[in-house]
Every structure is written in C-alpha cells, then in structure tokens.
Amino acid sequence: MIIGRVIGELVSTQKHSTHENLKILLVQPLNLDGSERGDALVAVDSVQAGVGQTVLLATDGYAAFSSVGLPPSPIDMAVVGIIDRIDLSA
C-alpha cells in the first residue's frame, strides 16, 4: 500500500475493454510527513477520489482489480481509500 495525493485525471480515447466507465487518476506518492516521494503513478479509482485528496493505493494486481469489482484484468494499481487524516505519534 502507498499513500498519495491525486494530482490529476487521465482521459483516454481508447482503453482495454475492462477499463470502460472507470476513472483513471494520476497520483503523486507521499512520505508520511506529506513530502513527495518519487514519480507520479497511474491508478484506477474505486472510491470516487478527487484532485487534491490524499488517498491509499493498492499496488498488488489482485487487490487492484478486485477493488473495482472486475474479473482478472490488466490493472496493477487502484485507489482504494480516501485518507482524512494521518496522525503520527513519536
């Protein structure tokens, strides 16, 4: 699992048939302190997340395609939760 922030939506004129009617997001991975970590990732949205929201990403293929209710399909990352707050205790 990865924490990230939605930074955009992707639009495609052609995509795999199992991806029809699914929203695809561009997500920037984050460290626990909120700083950016690495390059942005592409993920299928299963929770109707919006730009600017902090989200939880499933990075396992089975978890990703199951979270959007699909049979085995070419999805390897999905947004599976919206994070309201992160509390870190020292």
**Domain boundary assignment for the chain:** 2-82
d(CA 90, CA 88): 7
pLDDT above 70 (res 6): yes
Give the end-to-end CA distance of the chain in Å, rounded to a whole number.
22
Q: What pairing do the DSSP bridges indicate for beta strands 78-82 and 41-45?
A: parallel
What pLDDT does 71 receive? 65
Q: What is the pLDDT of residues 14-45, one digit of tens each?
A: 777 766 778 889 999 999 888 999 999 999 88
pLDDT above 70 (res 64): no
Cα 80 to its chain centre, rounded Å, is: 7
What pLDDT does 39 receive? 95
Question: Which CATH fold topology does 2-82 show?
Answer: OB fold (Dihydrolipoamide Acetyltransferase, E2P) (2.40.50)
